[in-house]
Copies of this chain bind each other. A is one copy, B any other.
Amino acid sequence: MAAIVLCFASLTKLVGRFSPLALLEPASGLWHDSDQVLPDKAELNMPHSTFIKVRGYHLDVYQHVNNARYLEFLEEARWSYLEAVGDIEHFELLGLAWVIVNININYRAQATMGHLLRIDTAFTQINGKSAVIKQKVWLDGTDTLVADADITFVCLDKKAGRAVLIEGPLKERLATRLETL
């Protein structure tokens, strides 16, 4: 299975001389690889929000944000979220990788030039071998939902090369973030 592989372990290879690991420090220092300190949700300021202003190059022939471009917006928001909660380093140290196996996105309203979009991101489901991140794209300051999506991941043990059960400390870590979005 594969699509966009979140190869956390391989991130170290990508860091060149202009990218000391310091750039990837979690926003909060609460996450330790050996002894997890699980923060109160309020401390993580959830749901995580990312703001994107719609520009000319985001639009297509119909003068609305292109369907494929929304997936870049969602990926931008997920990276921002993972950085904020310290997951990038954490999963890298555990040798785990999240693999996207499905994206189910509803396009509900049109967004165009000058619109400020707010993308809210949160884990909403943990299953046996998969987890779901839900993301909602709002026209900021209104109750207009532009788009919403469920992104389903499996967790891959990079060494073993197979999906692992989401259990134990891994499940515990994700469970603190579950919410209805």
Contacts and interface: CB of A to CB of B under 8 A. Distances in A.
Interface of A: 1-7, 10-11, 14-16, 18-19, 23-24, 53, 55-72, 75-76, 79-80, 99-116, 139, 142, 144, 147
Interface of chain A, main secondary structure = mixed
Given A18-B112, A113-B15, A115-B23, A63 B61 contact: yes
Given A19-B114, A64-B2, A108-B1, A57 B70 contact: no
A66 B18 contact: no
Contacts of A80: 53
A128 to B, nearest CB: 18
Contacts of A24: 114
Nearest to A141: B23
Q: Which 7 pairs of residues, A with B, have the shortest CB-CB distance?
A: A3-B107, A2-B110, A68-B71, A56-B61, A4-B67, A23-B114, A5-B62
A102 B107 CA distance: 6
Contact of A103 (B23, B53, B105, B115): B105
Contacts of A105: 102-104
A131 to B, nearest CB: 15
9 contacts: A1-B108, A4-B64, A4-B66, A10-B62, A14-B61, A14-B112, A19-B115, A61-B113, A101-B106
